[in-house]
Chains A and B, each alone.
Chain A
Amino acid sequence: MYNMGAYYEATSVAHAISLLQRHSGPTTKIVAGGSDVLIQMREGKLAGYTLVSIQRLDELRGVYMDDDETLRILPVTSFSHITKHPLIKEYINVLGYAVDQIGSPQIRNIGTIGGNICNGVTSADSASTLLAYDAVVEITGPAGVRRLPITDFYIKAGVVALMPDEVLTAILIPKESYENTHGHYIKYAMRNAMDIATLGCSLNVRLSPDKRAVERVRVGYGVAGPVPMRAKNAEEAGNGRPASMDTVNRAAKAALLDVNPRDSWRASKALRLHLAEELCRRAFTMAITRAGGSL
């Protein structure tokens, strides 16, 4: 048995919002997959909390293409369904690969991509890729729907820009972001499964038509600071430059100006700085190769 206060099950997004309006408080949590919330309840951190469940809202599951070719990822989609989805495979394969590094196969059937970003943790394996693809989050509340760039969604460690009566209802990837890009994600962890990233780097590139130049590169990091972040200096060092090892090395070095990792019991700051440079180098190399460039 869980040490749970009350339990409310939403039957629609509107119902979820009205439940939150009625029951929100410092000890109320939204639960979707449960692989964070229920574990924290078991461990005592959320003992006695009231849960508002959106687990059974099938209207929040799936991946779709909007009319303007924006990729619409619904938040209660499980990691394994993201990885298997044909639209993800075709347009943003690196996201499917990144969420395939989470936990274990069962956890990937349980956990949801919305939960992965709403818990606000820096190590979320999906977050660096979503940042690197300029994802936009769609939030629904009593006043209606609002949109926010994912960089503004993260406020500080464990805190995201959701009001107590709001629900994340979609993650959008604009066509301009994913079109003609190739990416790679590297999760560095102590174990191959059931581990949290020591550092993660997600990078995607768009090469020029002749494959000789980097038209655009975008770099996202997890565990390189209190929240997932973009590496603008690394990107500037790569944008418009020749697709060469020299560019890759410059970008990797520049990434050190962006990241701000800390010492923790998992790893030292020194190791994380080393990883920030090296993972960027390797991910950039792989992304250029995947895009058809030669180094």
Chain B
Amino acid sequence: MIQRKLITCTINGNKIQTMVDVRASLTDMLRNDYRLTSVKKGCEVGECGACNVMIDGECFNSCIYLAVWADSKHIRTVESLLGSAGELHPIQQAFVDEGAVQCGYCTPGFIMTALEIVQSGRQYTRDELKKLLSGHLCRCTGYENIVNAVEKAMKGTAQSIPETISRHRPATR
């Protein structure tokens, strides 16, 4: 018998209530039930950071977080960064400008960590940024351009980054 549990949470600004399989990871729920496919399945053991999402303002690898634990939490994925007219978020733009994206698989995870860095309002040194980004594996770029992009976004925030959370409904199953 499949054991399910009713949870209520907020995903990208939308309050939802759903029955989740207790065996599901948060990655499973976000991808399969809400089609938030920016949340990638990489290693699935918390090493690569491709499934990284923000839960109550802190970054978590959603592959090692049970979906049932999301009850009453605020979850944010890269989809929330989309501007109302479809424009990129300044962090995303910095990744484009700095050539920080190649195959793109690791990018959403990196961007959510970059968002946590930018939202902290602090200015970090390059070494500190490297440590803060150390939970993400990228096999294409060699990291240099990614660190450049995050540094650029962080410095850009001195002039304040818009707090965009798109309000369009996540696709229902």
Contacts and interface: CB of A to CB of B under 8 A. Distances in A.
Interface stretch (A35-43, A169-177, A244-252): A35-43
Interface string A83-118: 000000000000000000001111101100000000
The residue among B21, B46, B131 with the most chain A CB atoms within 10 A of its own CB is: B46
A105 B66 contact: no
A1 B66 contact: no
A104 B22 CA distance: 26
A106 B60 contact: yes
Nearest to A56: B69
Interface string A17-44: 0000000000000000011001100110
A105 B28 CA distance: 22
A6 B3 contact: yes
A107 B46 contact: yes
Contacts of A35: 46, 64
Interface size bracket, B side? 20 to 34
Given A1-B28, A7-B22, A194 B47 contact: yes
A159 to B, nearest CB: 23
B23 A193 contact: no
Given A2-B25, A7-B3, A9-B68, A106 B61 contact: yes
23 contacts: A1-B21, A1-B24, A1-B25, A4-B22, A6-B3, A7-B3, A7-B5, A7-B66, A34-B66, A39-B46, A42-B64, A53-B69, A103-B46, A105-B59, A106-B46, A106-B59, A106-B135, A107-B61, A110-B46, A110-B64, A192-B131, A194-B47, A194-B134
Closest 3 interchain pairs by CB?
A: A104-B135, A193-B134, A7-B22
Interface of B: 3, 5, 21-25, 28, 44-47, 49, 52, 58-61, 64-66, 68-69, 71, 113, 131-132, 134-136
